[in-house]
Homo-oligomer: A and B are copies of this chain.
Amino acid sequence: MVLPRTQEENARQRALTYFQRAGIYLTKDEMDSLKAVDFGLGRLEEIGLERVVYVKTGRCCAKEMILFPGQTCPEHIHLPFEAEPGKEETFRCRWGKVYLYVPGKPVQKPQAKIPEDLRQYFTVWHEIVLTPGGQYTLAPNTLHWFQGGPDGAVVSEFSTNNRDEADIYSNPEISMAPRRN
A positions within 8 Å CB-CB of B = 22-27, 30, 54-55, 57, 59-62, 88, 90, 92, 94-95, 132-135, 137, 156, 158-160
Contact = CB atoms under 8 A, between A and B. Distances in A.
Contacts of A90: 54-55, 57, 60, 62
A58 to B, nearest CB: 9
A133 B25 contact: yes
24 contacts: A23-B24, A24-B94, A25-B95, A25-B133, A26-B133, A30-B133, A54-B90, A54-B92, A54-B158, A55-B90, A55-B92, A55-B135, A57-B88, A59-B60, A60-B60, A60-B90, A60-B160, A61-B158, A62-B62, A62-B90, A62-B92, A62-B156, A62-B158, A158-B158
Query: How many copies of this chain are found per oligomer?
Result: 2
A54 B133 CA distance: 9
Given A62-B90, A158-B158, 19 more contacts: A22-B23, A23-B23, A24-B94, A25-B133, A26-B133, A27-B133, A30-B133, A54-B90, A54-B158, A55-B90, A55-B158, A57-B88, A57-B137, A59-B88, A60-B60, A60-B90, A61-B158, A62-B62, A62-B156
